Amino acid sequence: MSQTAHKFEASILREYDIRGVVGSTVHAADARAIGRTFGTLVKRKGGKRVALGYDGRLSSPELAAACIEGLTAAGVDVVNIGVAATPMLYFAVYHLSADGGIQITGSHNPPDYNGFKMMMGKKSFFGADIQTLGAMAGKGDWETGQGKVEKKDILADYAARLLRDVKPGKKLKVAWDIGNGAVGVSIRAVVDKLPGEHFVLNEKVDGTFPAHHPDPTVPKNLEQLIAEVKKHGCDLGIAFDGDGDRIGAVDGKGRILWGDQLLVLWARDVLKSNPGATIIADVKASQVLFDEIAKAGGKPMMFKTGHSLIKSKMAEIGSPLAGEMSGHVFFADTFYGFDDALYCGLRLLNVVANAKESLAEMRDGLPQPVNTPELRFDCPDDQKFGVVEKVKARLQKEGAKFSDIDGVRVSTKDGWWLLRASNTQPVLVARCEAADNAGLDRLKDELKAALAASGVELPDDVEAGGAGHH
C-alpha cells in the first residue's frame, strides 16, 4: 500500500462513530485509512484479530473491502462475518474473543450515508479515541504487516445465544418490521423458533429502503407496522432501525410505546432478579421512568445521552439495565450490556408472555404526562455548547433547580424542561414535560425565555406536543 498519510474530512469524525455521505465526505480511501489506523492501535495494544461486519447499504461491500485492506496492511487478521446487524458484530467480538470490531453502517441515516462503529476489545471506541485515530492517520503513523482474512458465518451461534434468554409464557401474535435493514439477516433464525404466530414485514435487506426509512423513533415509519398489528389482531409489534441497535414498539391497539415507556416494563422485570440495582436512562427520558424505577425498588440514575457514554457508565457501575429515549437499550443482567434491538424485542415478549395484562393494559397503567416531542433547532457547532452555558449561568443566578449532567434539565412545579447541545449535529435539543397542557405551555414559555435571553430565537413551529407521550 503506497499511502503515506491520510486526512479525513473533519465532519465525519463524530462523538460515537465515523459517518458521512458516501462519495462526498466518505470514500473507500477513508475506509482503508480507518482500517490501517485501527489495526495499528489494536496491534500496539498487543492484539492481532479484528471482527468486521457490514450493513445492507449499497456502498457497504466496497467500504468493507477497503477497510479489510487497511486492517491487513497493518498486520492484523480479520474475521469477516459478512452482512450483519451491528449487534451481531458486537456479539462476534465476544463470541470469537476478537481484539476489536468494526461495523460498517450508516445506522438510521438516509441511504447515501455510511460509516463505522468500532469496539476496542469489548469496550466502545468513541470520543477522544476517534480523534486520536484521525490524528494518527493524518501523520501516517501506521504499522505494517500482512494480516490474513477469514470468512465466518456466526448466524446459528448468534441466534442460539439470543434464544437462550427466552422465557416461554402464553403464546403471542407478533408483527415485526425489519424496515429492509440488516436485522433481515437474522430475523428468521430467531422468530421461526419462537412460540406463537409471527408476521415479518420488509425482511429483505435492501439499502434503498423501499418501504420506509428505517428509524423507529419517527411515527410515520411505524404506520405499516401498526396496520399489520391491527390486521392480524397482534398482541404487539416490534420495529428496528437500519443496523438493528435501536428498537421501536407498538401495543395491540397500534399505539406507540416510546423508549422510556418500554424501559419501565423492562426495569420492573430486571429488578425482580436484581433488587435495588441502579438503572440508567438518559436526560431526555420522562420523569415517569425515574419514578417508576424507584417504585419498583431500583435506583434510578439520570445520565448523558449517547449510547457509547451510557454503555461505559453501565460497565463502570455494574448496572444491569440502561437505555435511551432513542431506543438504544442495554441489558447486562444476563446479556453482554450492548444495544441489541432483536434481543430487546425478545425481552419484551418475555414481559408480555408472562404477564396477566396485555401490553396495551400495561401502557394504560403508566402515568400519562403531556410532553413535547424532541425539539431540534439549528445552532452552529461552534456556538451550541456556549448557548447552553449561557442558559446555565442564568439559571444559577436565579437559583433554579436543575441537573447539568448533560446540558440543563430544569425542574419546576409544573414538570421539567431540557436544553442540550447535540453531540452529533449542529443543533440544540429541547424537551418539556408536564402533568397537563397548561403546565406544558408554561414550561415552553420558560424554555423560550431562557433561549431568547441567550440570543436564540425559537422557530414558530415549536408549539408541537400536547396530550400523550411523544
For the chain, give the number of residues: 470
Q: Please state, in angstroms and rounded to a whole number, the distance separating the CA atoms of residues 306 and 400.
A: 26
Which residue from 353, 317, 334 is spatially nearest to 173, judged by alpha carbons?
Answer: 353
Element (H, E) at 47: none
Indicate if 107 belongs to the active site: yes
Q: Please state, in angstroms and rounded to a whole number, the distance separating the CA atoms of residues 216 and 179.
A: 9
Amino acid residing at 1: M
Which residue among 2, 11, 60, 107 is the active-site one?
107
Match 389482531 to its residue by C-alpha cell. 233
User: Checking DSSP bridges between strand 247-251 and strand 256-257, what pairing results, if any?
Assistant: antiparallel
Q: Please state, in angstroms and rounded to a whole number, the distance separating the CA atoms of residues 326 and 218.
A: 10
Report the DSSP beta bridge partners of residue 21.
113
Q: What is the CA radius of gyration of the chain?
A: 22
Q: Which residues contact 323 (CB under 8 A, 6 or more apart)?
A: 259, 260, 262, 263, 266, 280, 281, 282, 285, 310, 329, 330
Q: Are 239 and 230 in contact (CB under 8 A)?
A: no
Question: How many angstroms separate the Cα of 367 from the Cα of each of 88, 436, 466?
Answer: 35, 12, 15
Active-site residue set:
107
